[in-house]
Amino acid sequence: MAEHNEIGQKGEQIASDFLKNKGYTILETNWRFKNLEADIIAQQNKTLIIAEVKTRQSNYFGEPETFVTKQKQKNLIKAAHAYIERSNSDLEVRFDIISIIIGKNESKVNHIEDAFLFSH
């Protein structure tokens, strides 16, 4: 497996653990619909959270969250629509970004709630 894939998987595990520790219920990880993917789908109270996880080894090229492009946001919104239809969810929807920098001794997690707006 390529090193960037291993870093991504490690970041997604850190993000899942982080959300669980904050009281979220993880419903899905790496949920796929056609060519779309949501890294984490979680629930907190009456809110469905669609979370994009961005993991890097440093912020040399910028903070990880800056790499969530407008196209990625559109794809997450499409994936959320598909998930909501399939699960018959009537929860409020929120899009979060979990930015992780994995260092040699520790990892830095930045949880950005309501990172972008749900638009039709």
Task: Summarize pLDDT for 70-86 with one digit per residue, the tens.
Answer: 899 999 999 999 999 99
Spatial distance between the Cα atoms of 111 and 79, rounded to a whole number of angstroms? 20
Judge contact between 111 and 98, C-beta under 8 A: yes
pTM to 2 decimals? 0.89
Q: Which ranges of the chain does DSSP label H, i.e. alpha helix?
A: 3-21, 70-87
Task: Summarize pLDDT for 13-64 with one digit per residue, the tens.
Answer: 999 999 999 999 999 999 999 999 999 999 999 999 999 999 888 777 777 7
